[in-house]
Structure 1
Amino acid sequence: MSRPPLQALIGFAAAARMGNLTRAAESMHLTVSALSHQIRAIEERLGRRLFVRGARGVRLTDDGQALYERIAPHLDAIERALQPRVCRDDSLTITLMPSFASSWLVPRLPRFLAAHPQLEISLQSNIGVVDFARETVIDAGIRFGPGKWPGLEAVHLFDDWVTPTASPALLERLGYPTLQTLGSFPLLGAPGGRWSEWFAEFGGTPPERFVAILDDSENLHRAAVEGLGIVLGRMTLARPLIEAGRLVTLFDERFKAEFAHYLVFPPRSRGHRGLAVFRDWLLEEAQVYEAAEAIPPRHVGAARKATKVVKTPKTTPATRRRKGG
């Protein structure tokens, strides 16, 4: 069987969208007779009626609706692929995780915009995988991952670190854990995750159950802020909360996160001068950030030692005599 002409399918889709043969024919620079002939050819090929004609236009039959739903996404993709892409070096669109935007990039962005006022930057928060072939308006992305994405170039920005963190309110209520007693405190996470690595590396006994399991890092940190439990905090997310006094780290011990932060972009963005400027700035900021992260933030254990209260022992007649009392 020969392939149906693409032009006929495009005409069918136009008539389906507009519900009017005359307007659909005009949009394709055809006569109504020519468009009707194309649609009739598809109907004869399928052996089904695609439209019901009425006084005010046409409407799809059930078979016509099923055909339209199958072909419309493909026709839209062809139309997008054939649209010329205008690349502006003074305009930059970046996709990134909402948590990374709020905790790391946005607080630093004013410095970039002040240094490069001619560059218009647009941030699109997205937690899913971005198809750069389809989303042609997006120039690059910032992602937390393994560093290898098929068909994309990846520039390493910085690693991340994890360490137990908790809210001051929870510590005031339950006291302060040690490495050995940490497993007896309410922990946020899941069995078999990074907590297993923590206890294997630094000792202690993992809990039989976790107080809550959340599938999103930002929600885990939010739950810790609310005093629900101790989170194995990722420093990129936890650092602003620590500086605001809403979380504190419990130990100097920490280990590297499984993934790292990368700037990723498709080959078509290699020559984007605005992206090159943004990449260089990101690398400079990442270097400063990594240097600061080399010094762990002041944790509650150190603060507790600094403010330790020495209790005066009770006096007895014997001690008074020794003191000359």
Structure 2
Amino acid sequence: MYSKLPSLNSLRTFEAAARLRSFKKAADELHVTPTAVSHQIKTLEEGLGTRLFERQTRAVQLTRDGELLSDTTFNVFRQLKDTFNDIVGSKGMLTISTTSSFASMWLVPNLEKFYRANPGIDVSIQTGEQKIDVMHDRRIDLAVSYGRYDPAQPHTSKLVTEKFGLYASPTYLDQFTNLDDAHLLETEWVNKSLPSITWDALIPQHERKDKRPNCTVRRFDQEHHVIQAALAGQGIALASSILVRNAVKEQWLVPFSGHGLPGEIAGLTYYLVVPPHNQRNKNVVAFTEWLFSEIQQSLS
């Protein structure tokens, strides 16, 4: 019945190389040499009578047949791993990609709630400001992305659209007398594809020449650094209502308004990206259901 199937070892080698897009990284994961990986792939290709990879100088790319086999092997080995974990009582691992600020200011502070509801799942968080190609990077199960949301983009779901406001520590505001003397803290995005959100946007266009304060502006390349600076009493932060929610709830930060400035301006959107091959994964489903619920509760 299974006489035409290649060896399990060659399929395992192929799955690692396809997922990591690298023979060398696959060799490191499997504790063998890159030559051994290359030999296993070549034997598999000869047995199938087709090329699975296009070899390039420093990378490999899957062919159409390679993509087809990769989808199958990835799902099969993941199902095997999940079954073994269920049998022996081991925890499943879920790898999430998101921004550094969302991870540190919202996800990590709330993650214990997910663990209490799902004791059989561990979460690994990978952060970065540039979008990861989660559709093809099999090391990532799902992404919480940030930016302008396009509902026509496939395999995405809107989580929440933030507002940007001004926040400061009560101690800083107790000493505050004049906006011209303030230190205003804002983010200069590492990801240049994001539209800039600055304190200057708080002032209506026709009033900027006459009413622009002479306050000192201090910029950070991470929004959570802006919030940490505000928590340390270093100034007034222009920050996401989502990311400061815990700090405001604990009254470590309080909203700042007045002086002719609006309370809030429109921000950007957090949205989920779940590749098709992970949409029925029980760990992914459990996390996404918890995330939507927790976001909505935090807004109420």
- The bucket for the TM-score relative to the shorter chain is 0.5 to 0.7
Residue 285 of structure 1 corresponds to which residue in structure 2? 294
Tell whether the 8 Å contact from 1:188 to 1:229 is kept in structure 2 after alignment: yes
1:196 aligned to 190, 196, 200, which one? Answer: 200
**1-structure distance, mates of 2:164, 2:35:** 59
Aligned residue identity for 1:206: R
Summarize deviations over 1:69-99 as a string: whole Å, max 9, x none: x934233x44996663133465422112222
Q: Measure, in 1, the Cα distance between the counterparts of 2:187 and 2:135.
A: 36
Further displaced range: 101-110 or 248-257: 248-257
| 1:187 maps to amino acid | L
Could you say which residue in structure 2 is the equivalent of 1:273? 282
> Contact between 1:154 and 1:264, CA under 8 Å: does it hold in 2?
yes
> Are 2:78 and 1:87 aligned?
yes
1:223 is displaced (CA, Å) by 2.4
| Residue 285 (structure 1) shift | 1.1
Q: 1:269 Cα deviation (Å)? A: 2.0
- Counterpart for residue 240 of structure 1: 246
- 1:259 to partner: Cα distance: 0.7
* Residue deviations 1:245-299 (CA, integer Å, cap 9, x gap): 43222239533532111111222222223212222221111111111xxxxxxxx
What CA distance in whole angstroms lies between the structure 2 residues aligned with 1:289 and 1:168? 22
Tell me, yes or no, if structure 1 residue 206 matches structure 2 residue 212: yes
**Secondary structure of residue in 2 paired with 1:73:** coil
Aligned residue in 2 for 1:148: 150
Contact persistence 1:164–1:251 (CA under 8 A): yes
Q: 1:117 to 1:186 in 2, by over 3 A?
A: closer
In structure 2, how many angstroms separate the alpha carbons of the residues matched to 1:26 and 1:107? 41
Question: Pick from 53, 56, 60: which aligns with 1:71?
Answer: 56
Question: CA–CA distance in 2 between the matches of 1:281 and 1:26?
Answer: 39
CA distance in 1, matches of 2:133, 2:151: 11
The partner residue of 1:127 within 117, 126, 129 is 129
**Which residue is equivalent to 1:112?**
114
RMSD: 3.8
Whole-Å separation in 1 of the counterparts to 2:148 and 2:186: 21
Partner Cα separation in structure 2 for residue 236 and residue 282 of structure 1: 13
Give me the identity figure in percent.
26
Q: 1:282-324 deviations in whole A, cap 9, x for unaligned?
A: 1111111111xxxxxxxxxxxxxxxxxxxxxxxxxxxxxxxxx
- Secondary structure, counterpart of 2:237 in structure 1: strand
Q: For 1:1-325, list aligned pairs within 5 A.
A: 28=39, 71-75=56-60, 77-78=61-62, 84-85=73-74, 86-88=77-79, 90-148=92-150, 152-175=154-177, 182=179, 185-189=182-186, 193-200=197-204, 205-208=211-214, 210-251=216-257, 254-291=263-300
Give the letter aligned to residue 173 of structure 1: Q
Give secondary structure in 1 for the equivalent of 2:257.
Answer: coil
Give yes or no for contact 1:158–1:290 (8 Å, CA) kept in 2: no
Whole-angstrom distance in 1 between the partners of 2:187 and 2:39: 58
Distance 1:161 1:169 in 2: 24
The one-character-per-residue Cα deviations of 1:98-146 (angstroms, maximum 9, x if unpaired) are 2212222223222222222233432222332112244212110112221
Aligned equivalents of 2:161, 2:241: Cα separation in 1: 10
> Within 1, Cα distance between the matches of 2:126 and 2:142?
10
**Equivalent position SS for 2:242:** helix
Report the number of matched residues: 226
In structure 1, the gaps of 5 or more residues are 1-12, 18-22, 30-69, 292-325
Paired with 1:240 and 1:155, the residues of 2 have a C-alpha distance of 24
Distance 1:117 1:143 in 2: 25
Q: Is the 8 A contact 1:152 1:265 kept in 2?
A: no
How far 1:24 sits from its partner (Å)?
A: 5.5
Contact 1:161 1:254 in 2 (8 A): no
Closer, same or farther: CA 25–207 of 1 in aligned 2, 3 Å: closer
Structure 2 unaligned runs (5+)? 1-22, 28-33, 41-54, 83-91, 189-195
Matched-pair contact (CA < 8 Å) for 2:166–2:264 = no
TM-score by length of 1: 0.57
